[in-house]
Amino acid sequence: MLQEHHQNRNHLLSVLPEPEWARVAPHLVLMDMPLGQVVYESGDRLHHVYFPTTAIVSLLYVMEDGASAEIAIVGNEGVVGIALFMGGETTPSRAVVQSAGQAYRLEARILKEEFHRAGPVQRLLLRYTQALITQMAQTAVCNRHHSIDQQLCRWLLLSIDRLPSNELKMTQELIANMLGVRRPGVTEAAMKLQDAGLIRYSYGHIELLDRPGLERRVCECYGVVKREFDRLLPDLKAL
């Protein structure tokens, strides 16, 4: 069985009551998640879910011409593969590792068994799904109404919230793909943030220097998403 402290590396796992954790833990497999790994493609039948611990996974919608845009990110607060317990089995989005790290993999069968017990696991996963839907909706609004500078601030804060440090390994080209914008726009936005002393950027590496400053600069979308996750997924085991 997994060590108890491992339970705390993912928020959803950490709030499971002991009986549910005891049933799930023996089936969790800790996996390395390298940068750029495709967890699943659009239309794939899902056989596992993943509970990130130190990795961040980006959910992308891919157009017919290959262009893509991020609709949500999942880190140590959540789970990748909600279609499994929502009854869809497949999803039109692609899941790609945005920040390298690790995640716990769990077989679909085990998750479904827990979900259909209609107990704490079901309630927790449904609350998480509501929070994720909020993030998707707010991302769509942000991409339509806010500047690239504001989108980059939102994306950086959401990403850092899901990491154990204030550093990201991510190229501007990948960020542009995530935001669905041209690379020059991301370069200009990143330079503005660096000139303002908010971040330090070198190729493939971003360090957050002034979080309060970035929070003052970001649009309302970050706060909406964060408040919803905090409201729906508190650090409580009273499920």
pLDDT one-digit tens code per residue, 123-163? 999 999 999 999 999 988 888 888 888 888 998 999 999 88
54 assigned to some structural domain? yes
Let me know: does 233 contact 127? Beta carbons within 8 Å.
Answer: yes
Considering the domain architecture, whether residues 9 and 46 belong to the same structural domain is answered as yes
Neighbours of 69 (CB within 10 A): 16
Chain segment 28-57, per-residue pLDDT in tens: 999 999 988 999 998 888 899 999 999 999
SS3 192: helix
Q: State mean pLDDT over 171-177.
A: 73
- Tell me how many domains the chain contains: 2
**What DSSP string runs through 9-25?**
GSHHHHTS-HHHHHHHG
239 assigned to some structural domain? no
Q: Is the pLDDT of residue 105 over 90?
A: yes
CATH number at residue 163: 1.10.10.10
Considering the domain architecture, whether residues 83 and 32 belong to the same structural domain is answered as yes
Let me know: does 125 contact 115? Beta carbons within 8 Å.
Answer: yes
Tokens 């996963």 map to which residue? Answer: 125
Q: What is the pLDDT of residue 5?
A: 41
Phi-psi group of 154: left, alpha or beta (phi > 0 → left; psi -120 to 50 → alpha; rest → beta)? alpha
Q: What percent of the chain has pLDDT over 70?
A: 94
Considering the domain architecture, whether residues 58 and 161 belong to the same structural domain is answered as no
CATH number at residue 135: 2.60.120.10
Considering the domain architecture, whether residues 128 and 169 belong to the same structural domain is answered as no
Considering the domain architecture, whether residues 15 and 130 belong to the same structural domain is answered as yes
Q: Name, in order, each residue with C-beta under 8 angstroms of 187's C-beta and a sequence gap of 6 or more.
A: 172
Q: What is the pLDDT of residue 54?
A: 93
Higher model confidence: residue 31 or residue 239? 31
Helices (H) and strands (E) in the chain, counts: 10, 10
Residue 1 confidence class, pLDDT cut points 50, 70, 90: very low
Tokens of 183: 């690379």
Considering the domain architecture, whether residues 42 and 23 belong to the same structural domain is answered as yes
- Domain of residue 86 covers 4-142+227-232
Considering the domain architecture, whether residues 199 and 88 belong to the same structural domain is answered as no
Tokens 């790290």 map to which residue? Answer: 101
238 assigned to some structural domain? no
Chain segment 179-218, per-residue pLDDT in tens: 767 778 778 888 888 999 998 988 778 899 999 999 999 9
237 assigned to some structural domain? no
Q: Specify which residues 103 forms β-bridges with.
A: 31, 52
The C-alpha atoms of residue 21 and residue 96 are separated, in whole angstroms, by: 27
Tokens of 40: 């699943």
The C-alpha atoms of residue 14 and residue 158 are separated, in whole angstroms, by: 20
133 assigned to some structural domain? yes
The pLDDT mean for the chain works out to: 87
Residue 3 confidence class, pLDDT cut points 50, 70, 90: very low
Considering the domain architecture, whether residues 12 and 126 belong to the same structural domain is answered as yes
Q: Is the pLDDT of residue 70 over 70?
A: yes
155 assigned to some structural domain? yes
Considering the domain architecture, whether residues 161 and 100 belong to the same structural domain is answered as no
Q: What is the pLDDT of residue 74?
A: 96
Residue 7 confidence class, pLDDT cut points 50, 70, 90: low
Q: What is the pLDDT of residue 201?
A: 84
Considering the domain architecture, whether residues 120 and 203 belong to the same structural domain is answered as no
Considering the domain architecture, whether residues 135 and 155 belong to the same structural domain is answered as no
14 assigned to some structural domain? yes
Phi-psi group of 107: left, alpha or beta (phi > 0 → left; psi -120 to 50 → alpha; rest → beta)? beta
Q: Specify which residues 102 forms β-bridges with.
A: 32
Considering the domain architecture, whether residues 72 and 175 belong to the same structural domain is answered as no
